[in-house]
Amino acid sequence: MAEFQAPTGTFDVLPPASARYERLVALFAAHVGRAGYGLVVSPMFEELGVFQRVGESTDVVRKEMYDFEDKGGRRIALRPEGTASVVRAFVQHRPTPPFKAWYVAPNFRYERPQAGRYRQHHQVGIEALGTDDPDLDVEVVALLADFYKQLGLTRVTLKLNSLGDAQCRPAYRQALVAHFTTKTLCDEHKDRIEANPLRILDCKREPCRAASADAPLQIDHLCEPCKAHFDTVQHGLADLGVPYTLAPRLVRGLDYYTRTTFEFAAEALGSAQDAVGGGGRYDGLAESLGGPPTPGIGFGAGIERILLACDAEGVFPAPTTTIDVFVMDTTGGAGARRTAAALRQVGIRADRAFDHRSWKAQMKAAVRSGAPLIVSIEPEGWTLRAADGDREPTTPETVVDHVRKRLQ
Ligand code: HAM
């Protein structure tokens, strides 16, 4: 065993498996790019306060954050999620709304590692700020639903809820506190009813589950504008043919949500870690980070979980080959050097042999590369070989055209 291993709850992704990551991100970028979302790159760490402001009463912020003091004495936290960073950047730079951003980024949570739950995971996500039009909710949810479809996933279900807003939430919260005060709760939640009664709805421990069974639901306590908003969202999803089920107990793991919230579960994962993406509105978040009141909505989807779901459904396999041509050379190497460079210049993916190894060893490397074509440069002449054994002579002058034709 190597002396050093990747830290607990983290892992390395090496080729060829990493080609799936790459493809997933490229598909995502193209998909949301077509809807007008632009890439935002923000720091992997922020002032601790940024995250404290958005999730003071959540596990993600209270218990799982990687926070530390840097050498300049600043309190810093590794990003546990992407939304707070994007909204902090929005407040700092004030781009013209509507502001539509996408990202791919690592997130860090000190969780108990298990299948599908890591201490560093990666999300692709979008955030859209500047309008509370419910049709934006429809766009955001439908984009994620379509993305799973593009990957070939068929057994992903959408759970939809509304968490109300600053108008109707306080009364609901009070109703919930009143309800839970009369109940027996788990050790963790019995003293935290006031701090975040909604969390109890999400607690998996038996006393809390029993106590939640007949708890009041936000969906029955929505004010008129929230109800109208939610109705329009549902109508829009139905109009686009995006199936969903109402999940009035869906409570997301972060504090900032208002109105529409949603989560996609992969049935094929069949575990507690079946959430392959989730998100919702956060109409008060920009303001709580010191910006002007600005509504917003977005989602984050875990790349590792999505790939696990793809494995479970047998879709979106890792590409078997990442190169088109392998160049071998037993004449000294100059031919391989020039041919590989010339092929790459015209956009053909080419790899080559090194170390002046024997023809046999180079051929082995060529086969292992999975390339459908091999250029073999030998003292007897140049040959273009196909993986199926077919071969034809070629020359230094014609090899690029030859390869190009064969690949068409
Ligand atoms: P989240 O539900 O905490 O939301 O995470 C989003 C997704 O990231 C989850 O559905 C899951 O696929 C993946 N994920 C979360 N934690 C882990 C973990 N420990 N290991 C592996 N995968 C994980 C957010 O982070 C929000 N920022 C989403 C959002 C964007 N809401 C509005 N905009």
Q: How many CB atoms neighbour CB 74 within 10 A?
A: 11
Q: Tell me how far apart the alpha carbons of residues 184 and 179 are, in angstroms, rounded to a whole number.
A: 11
Banded model confidence at residue 194, pLDDT cuts 50, 70, 90: confident
Q: What is the pLDDT of residue 199?
A: 84
Q: Is the pLDDT of residue 57 over 80?
A: no
Which of 69-83, 88-102, 184-198 comes out lowest in average pLDDT? 184-198
Going from the C-alpha of 144 to that of each of 86, 176, 334, the distances in angstroms are 18, 31, 49
Q: Is the pLDDT of residue 387 over 90?
A: no
Nearest 5°: phi and psi at 28? -65, -45
Tell which one of 102, 123, 199 to mutate to probe ligand 1, the residue whose CB is within 8 A of the most ligand atoms: 123
Which of 10-14, 320-324, 379-383 comes out lowest in average pLDDT? 320-324
* Nearest atom (ligand 1) to Cα of 300: 28
Nearest by Cα to 38 from 170, 127, 147: 127
Q: Output the pTM of the full model.
A: 0.94
Ligand 1 centroid to Cα of residue 329, in Å, is 49
Using one digit for the tens of pLDDT, what is the confidence trace for 89-139? 999 999 999 999 999 999 999 999 999 999 999 999 999 999 999 999 999
Kindly list the protein residues whose Cβ atom lies closer than 6 A to any atom of ligand 1.
81-83, 109, 111, 116-118, 121, 123, 125, 127, 253-254, 275-280, 298-302, 304-305
Domains in the chain, CATH or no CATH each: 18-168+222-313 (3.30.930.10), 325-407 (3.40.50.800)
* Nearest atom (ligand 1) to Cα of 281: 32
Ligand 1 centroid to Cα of residue 42, in Å, is 17
Nearest by Cα to 137 from 281, 330, 28, 267: 281
Q: Are 103 and 303 in contact (CB under 8 A)?
A: no
Average pLDDT over residues 339-358: 97
Q: What percent of the chain has pLDDT over 70?
A: 100
